[in-house]
Chain A
Amino acid sequence: KAGVTQTPRYLIKTRGQQVTLSCSPISGHRSVSWYQQTPGQGLQFLFEYFSETQRNKGNFPGRFSGRQFSNSRSEMNVSTLELGDSALYLCASSLALAGGSVTDTQYFGPGTRLTVL
């Protein structure tokens, strides 16, 4: 079974631009979560989508948004990019039968490395 895939793997943008990142979960997985990883702040939760609905949201500004499609694939968008948005963006998927449970393992993709110049 294929793992979580993320595209693109690397991205270079300039300040003020916007960017869209894509995540395809493991087949059959219904929940997709997004995380930002930086050297200074570590891994921080951005948001989680389940059945095309945002279920949880981390403490990030409104410039960060996302959506999930009916096939569970997810995209996240960052508008008006700032230098501080340079990071590794990771998505994770989990089975989430019946909405999810504490026994669910999250499986992470390889990440998208975003550099903002």
Chain B
Amino acid sequence: KQEVTQIPAALSVPEGENLVLNCSFTDSAIYNLQWFRQDPGKGLTSLLLIQSSQREQTSGRLNASLDKSSGRSTLYIAASQPGDSATYLCAVPSDFAGNMLTFGGGTRLMVKP
């Protein structure tokens, strides 16, 4: 059974700092890995999806990498801003259609002005 872990559970950084969020998974036979953002009491917003054949994906100040062999993914946020404050979740699908996601517990990020 796939297990997804995110460390740290919470992170507080000053504005402008570059930071890395970690995600690990136990079964390396994944189809893809997706990073989401969740604001308090809200739904999830998809940030990046990395296919199993890819090593990384970039969107603006965000860069996600994937190392299947070690069961790890990282989300790099450059020049953090207070608006980046949210919970970040990673998820992997258990089916080829990609619609049965197993989520990590999330990292709650606070960026202080």
Contacts and interface: CB of A to CB of B under 8 A. Distances in A.
Interface of A: 4, 31, 33, 35, 42-45, 48, 50, 55-56, 58, 88, 90, 92, 94, 96, 99-111, 113
Contact of A45 (B31, B43, B102): B102
29 contacts: A4-B43, A31-B99, A42-B104, A43-B89, A44-B103, A45-B94, A55-B97, A55-B99, A56-B99, A88-B41, A99-B97, A100-B98, A100-B99, A101-B96, A102-B31, A102-B52, A102-B96, A103-B51, A105-B46, A105-B49, A106-B34, A106-B46, A106-B99, A108-B36, A108-B45, A108-B46, A110-B43, A111-B41, A113-B41
Size category of the binding interface on chain B? 20 to 34
Interface of B: 31-32, 34, 36, 41-46, 49, 51-52, 89, 91, 93-106
Interface of A is mostly: strand
Contact of A43 (B41, B98, B103): B103
Contacts of B95: 56
Nearest to B31: A102
Contacts of B104: 42
A105 B99 CA distance: 9
A103 B100 contact: no
Given A48-B99, A94-B98, A108-B36, A102 B43 contact: no
Contacts of B45: 108
